[in-house]
Amino acid sequence: MSILVNKDTRVVVHGITGSAGGFHARAMIEYGTNVVAGVTPGKGGQTFDGKVPVFNSCEEAVRRTGANAGVCFVPGAFAADSVMEAAAAGIPLVVCITEGISIMDECRLRAFLKDTSTRMIGPNCPGLITPGEAKLGIMPGYIHKKGDIGVVSRSGTLTYEIVWQLSMLELGQSTCVGIGGDPVQGSDFVDILKLFHADPGTRAVVMAGEIGGTMEEDAAAYIREHMRKPVIAFVGGQTAPPGKRMGHAGAIIQGGKGTAAEKYRALREAGVTCVLDPADVGRTVKAVLGTC
């Protein structure tokens, strides 16, 4: 089984006529994702690559095609409004790939979504994929292999590295979710861990965190109280100097909090198998599963 998306998911792509949206929409379709609509205001009535209808609004796209998931490639200045439009149209899942959204817009978006039934993945994320069924985002589909290992990560690059190691060891994935590295996000580790915990098709979970914030500590608390499946974790930024931002907007240590050491300590106390070198993640997963 899987979480969030499968072969029956009907996808609308926001910004499908743009360069990024068009490029990745083609890649999603080639992978087998059921892309049923695109949205670009002012370009309604056109078709994308002669196959996918384009609508002026998400509401019309949902009404005409039954779309039940969205992917946003809209530029940063307009992305929050695009996601809110999707939520207002009743779409239960929106993946926001866009980076460069202002923190003010992210806060406004998060507040808006609290009053809806829409789950957002992102922003500033690679998206998610259920191997062999559907991908919503920018992940390279060929590195993934269908299986029963769940993957959730704050870093797109780490996601790809971990997935490649797993696939090379014949450890397929149920679903892989990149939650993004911005400080204000739609879904955090706990949100995704809950889904993996409830999914009978997920046997174990790999979690890739990084310095900054308290998401890993929150995840550790959830794992300690609820998870009965093995969790293997890596935390990036172990050598980062305090107070220095390291790439992602959320990856900053402030006031001595959010360090890799603190996160590893919380995870170990929760019974998580911790990996210090990202190159060892795949081998560690295989070893852990061999003892289960």
* Domains 10-121 and 140-290 are alike in CATH topology: yes
d(CA 187, CA 179): 6
The active-site residue out of 14, 24, 144, 248 is: 248
Confidence of residue 88 (pLDDT cuts 50, 70, 90): very high
Confidence of residue 181 (pLDDT cuts 50, 70, 90): confident
Min mean pLDDT across 8-17, 158-167, 252-261 is at 252-261
Mean pLDDT of the chain: 93
For 122-156, write each residue's pLDDT tens digit. Answer: 999 999 999 999 999 999 999 999 999 999 999 98
- Please provide the DSSP assignment of 156-197 as one string: HHHHHHHHHHHHHTT--EEEEEE--SSSS-SS-HHHHHHHHH
Helices (H), the chain: 19-31, 58-65, 76-88, 103-113, 156-168, 189-198, 215-226, 260-269, 281-290
d(CA 57, CA 287): 49
For residues 220-245, average pLDDT: 87
d(CA 91, CA 87): 5
14 is catalytic: no
For residues 227-235, average pLDDT: 97
d(CA 73, CA 98): 6
Closest CA to 244 of 254, 235, 234, 257: 254
d(CA 209, CA 158): 9
For 5-62, write each residue's pLDDT tens digit. Answer: 999 999 999 999 999 999 999 999 999 999 999 999 999 999 999 999 999 999 999 9
Beta bridge partners of 166: none
d(CA 237, CA 246): 8
Quick check: 174 and 147 in contact, CB under 8 A?
yes
pLDDT of residue 33: 98
> Higher pLDDT residue, 79 or 248?
79
Question: What is the dihedral sign for C-alpha 281, 1, 267, 258?
Answer: positive
For 3-19, write each residue's pLDDT tens digit. Answer: 999 999 999 999 999 99
* Domain ranges (residues) in the chain: 10-121, 140-290
DSSP annotation of 144: -
Q: Say yes or no: domain 140-290 is CATH 3.40.190.10.
A: no
pLDDT of residue 228: 94
Beta bridge partners of 127: 137, 178
CA dist 39 to 5, 69, 118, 120, 237, Å?
20, 13, 18, 18, 38
d(CA 151, CA 137): 15
Confidence of residue 246 (pLDDT cuts 50, 70, 90): low
Fold (CATH) for 10-121: Rossmann fold (3.40.50)
